[in-house]
Amino acid sequence: MPICKNLLFLFVPLSLISAASGPFPDPAVDLEKSTVKTKQTAVFAGGCFWCTEAVFEQLKGVEKVVSGYSGGDAATAHYKIVGEGRTEHAEAIQITYDSSRVSYGQLLKIFFSVAHDPTQLNRQGPDYGKQYRSAIFCANDDQRRVAEAYIEQLSQGKVFPGPIVTLVVSLKAFFPAEAYHQDFVRNNPDHPYVVANALPKLQKMKKLYPDWVKK
């Protein structure tokens, strides 16, 4: 199986990874929850899509998470060339969620507090290159408004010890990744990269948000 991650820097001490200090705030600006079951989608990029996919699969109200690529075109949406940093793509995930159960702002809260470190520029933990950049791909003006407001809120509140480098950009397209990348953490729980990088995030999710995690 292809290894998509930089094994040279596989084990990065968690103490060296930037983290939020204190309780993580709820978004002051958010989209109202629907009064009836309504499917919506969100596209985030935060480093390895194995890890971000696994985090959001745990969240109540999330119906499906697909690993893939966003930021480039269809011709370059292939793992080998994306992984070499030769495209405009970022490893991203597409989240399908019920907006009557979880809001877009709540997704952002998980994205910033658990799924990745938004202070790392063009890298994430052991993985480096613009394909691992932090980005929010907005499907409409409402998503952009909430995302920009939350980043400003976190920045003004000095929630992180360093500046947030997350890009907020318009979603042009999302391309699903190859089949072997889907549900990678669930299918490969003993993979060294998963053990070192994904499982700690799943544990953090359960610790911080036990009521939000699927049983």
Active site residues: 48
Tokens of 23: 């309780």
Which helix or strand (DSSP H or E) is residue 81 part of?
helix 79-83
Closest-CA residue to 46 (of 100, 95, 102): 95
SS3 readout for 91-156: EEEEEEEECCCCCHHHHHHHHHHHHCCCCCCCEECCEECHHHCEEEEECCHHHHHHHHHHHHHHHH
User: How many angstroms separate the CA atoms of 47 and 63, rounded?
Assistant: 22
User: How many angstroms separate the CA atoms of 157 and 143, rounded?
Assistant: 21
Position 146, amino acid: V
Which helix or strand (DSSP H or E) is residue 45 part of?
strand 39-46
In whole angstroms, what separates CA 207 from the centre of its chain? Answer: 18
